[in-house]
Amino acid sequence: MTDHIPTSSTRRSRPDLWRLLLLPLALLLANGSLDAQGMVDIDPRIQEIVAEISEENLEHLVTGMASFETRNTMSSVDDPDRGIGAAREWMVEELAGYSPRLQVGLDCYDVVASGRITRDVEICNVKAVLPGRTERRIYVSGHYDSVAQVPPGAEDDYPEHDNFAPGANDDASGTAVAMELARVLSQSGLEFDATLVFIGFAGEEQGLFGARLHAKRALDEGIQIDAVFNNDIVGNIRAGDGQINGTAVQVFAPGPDDSPARTLARYAYRFGKAYMPHHDIRLVGREDRFGRGGDHTPFNYWGFAAVRFTEIMENYARQHTVEDTVDGVYFPYLARNARVNAGGVASLALAPAAPEVDNPNGQPRLTRGESRYAAHLEWDPSPGAASYRIFIRDGWSMDWQQVYDVGNVTEFTFEGLSIDEHYFGVAAVGPDGHESLASPYDRPHRVIEEVETR
C-alpha cells in the first residue's frame, strides 16, 4: 500500500505549531478536492481526444441548429427548412457522417396532450450509439428542443410553438457538446469498455418529456446506465449583470452524500481536472440551479447517476427568448466545457465497471475486522480489473481526501481506522490505469416504524 498524498505527508513532517497554522490555509487553497487528485494516470490517447474537440465544429453545430428558427417540440415536422422536424433530420445526417461505427437514429414516443404539451405529439430524441465491449452505458446529453416566450398581446400572431426560438445557448450548446463528443470518440479508433450514447432530448422545455420517457424505458428494460453527463446552457460567459467568466463551469449533483449523482460528480471533477487542469470545475451539491430543472433529474429519480453541467454566468434575458442567438455563445468557452466532459467520459468508458460492494442483502461489506478496531472492506472482482483503489473521506466532507492503490485484491484492512468517522469507496482500475466510479460503502437509511400507543 502506498500513500500518494503529497500535501498530507508534507503537512505531517512539519512541527505541530506550523501544522496547526498551515492546515486551514492549505484546506482553503485545496478547493476541497485537491487531495483526491492523487494517483490519476494520464492517458495520452485521452489527451488527444480532448485536443481534438473543435471550436469550429461546435460553432457549425450550434449555428446549424439555430438556423431552423425554432425547434419547439410542437413546431412543424414537415417544413424542410423550419421547425423541429427539419432540425432533427439535419442532426441525424451530421452524426451519421462522423463514423460508420455510430448507430444513429430517432428514439420516438407518442405523447398525449397534457400541461404544456398542448396537443398530442410525437416526441423524438436524436440518438447516436457507439457500441463498446459491454452493454453498460455512459450518456452524454443535451436537449435540442427550444422555446421562446411570445411578446404579451401577440399570442394570436405568433403561437408559442411557432415563435422564433433559436435556442442557441439553451440548448443547442449542450447538444453540440454531445454531438462533438460523438465525433471525436467515434473517430478515436479506441475500443471502449462501455457503450457510449450521445443523445439530444426533445420536450425538455415542456417538462423533461424526452428524458423522462427514455429513462423510464431504460429502467423497465433493465438497461444499465452507469453515468449521464447532461449539458444544458453551457456556452455563454456574460451574465446579465455584467459579470464575465469563461474559465469555470458548474456541475450539479443532488444528495445524499454517496448518491449515484455525487459519486459521478466526484469522478467528473477528478478526470475533468486531470485533462483540463486550468478549468475551474465547481461542484454544487444540489439537484439543479435554484427553482430550475433539467434532463438529468429523471435519470437520478430512477436510480441512475446523472449530473448537470451549466455555465457559471447565466444571462436570463437570453434564455427562452428570441434573444437566444448564436452571438451569445462564446465558442472557446463551449470547447473548454466539452473538453471537461471528454476527459471524464473517455476515462470512464475505458475503465472496467465499478465493483459491487454490497452483499446479496444490499448491505455494504464494511466491518471492523478481526480486531474490531479496523476498517475492513470487501468487494466482488470487477471483470477486466487489474487492481483496485480505495477512497476515504472524513465524516463531514463532500470530497474524497485520501486514495490508496491496494493491488489486485478483493478485500483490504486499515488497522486502527474508524469506520464511524470515515466514508469509504472502492474503484476498479483497468490494465492501462483507467479508473471506474468509486462504489460507495453507504448504508440505506434505517426505516423507523411508528409506535402504537393507547
Binding site for Zn ion (CB under 5 A): 170-171, 232
Q: Which residue number, 183 or 308, has a Cβ lying nearer to Zn ion? A: 308
Q: Which residue number, 35 or 170, has a Cβ lying nearer to Zn ion? A: 170
Q: Are 271 and 367 in contact (CB under 8 A)?
A: no
207: left (phi over 0), alpha (psi -120 to 50) or beta: left
CB of 203 to Zn ion, least distance (A): 11
CB of 301 to Zn ion, least distance (A): 18
Cell of 38: 492523487
Report the C-alpha gap between 451 and 454 in whole angstroms. 10
Cell of 321: 427568448
Q: How far is CA 387 from the centre of its chain?
A: 25
CB of 130 to Zn ion, least distance (A): 24
CB of 307 to Zn ion, least distance (A): 15
Q: Which residue number, 170 or 258, has a Cβ lying nearer to Zn ion? A: 170
Q: Which residue number, 171 or 399, has a Cβ lying nearer to Zn ion? A: 171
Q: Is 220 helix (H, G, I), strand (E, B) or coil?
A: helix
CB of 233 to Zn ion, least distance (A): 6
Q: Are 246 and 330 in contact (CB under 8 A)?
A: yes
What is 243-287 written as a DSSP string? -B-SSEEEEE--SSTT-HHHHHHHHHHHHHHHH-TTSEEEEE-SS
Q: Which residue number, 232 or 288, has a Cβ lying nearer to Zn ion? A: 232
Report the C-alpha gap between 57 and 180 in whole angstroms. 7
* Distances from the Cα of 252 to the Cα of 141, 205, 280, angstroms: 14, 19, 14
Cell of 298: 429523471
At residue 309, what are phi and psi to the nearest 5 degrees? -95, 130
Nearest alpha-carbon partner for 262 in 362, 137, 391, 377: 391
- What is the helix (H) or strand (E) element at residue 4, kind and residue range? none
CB of 345 to Zn ion, least distance (A): 20
CB of 319 to Zn ion, least distance (A): 8
Q: Are 371 and 285 in contact (CB under 8 A)?
A: no
Cell of 323: 434573444
CB of 201 to Zn ion, least distance (A): 10
From first CA to last CA, the distance across the chain in angstroms is 58
Q: Which residue number, 186 or 341, has a Cβ lying nearer to Zn ion? A: 341
Q: Which residue number, 262 or 308, has a Cβ lying nearer to Zn ion? A: 308
Q: Which residue number, 319 or 382, has a Cβ lying nearer to Zn ion? A: 319
Q: Which residue number, 180 or 232, has a Cβ lying nearer to Zn ion? A: 232
At residue 404, what are phi and psi to the nearest 5 degrees? -130, 130
CB of 320 to Zn ion, least distance (A): 8
Cell of 184: 471525436
Q: Which residue number, 175 or 188, has a Cβ lying nearer to Zn ion? A: 175
Q: Which residue has the cell 423497465?
A: 220
Report the C-alpha gap between 48 and 53 in whole angstroms. 9
CB of 175 to Zn ion, least distance (A): 10
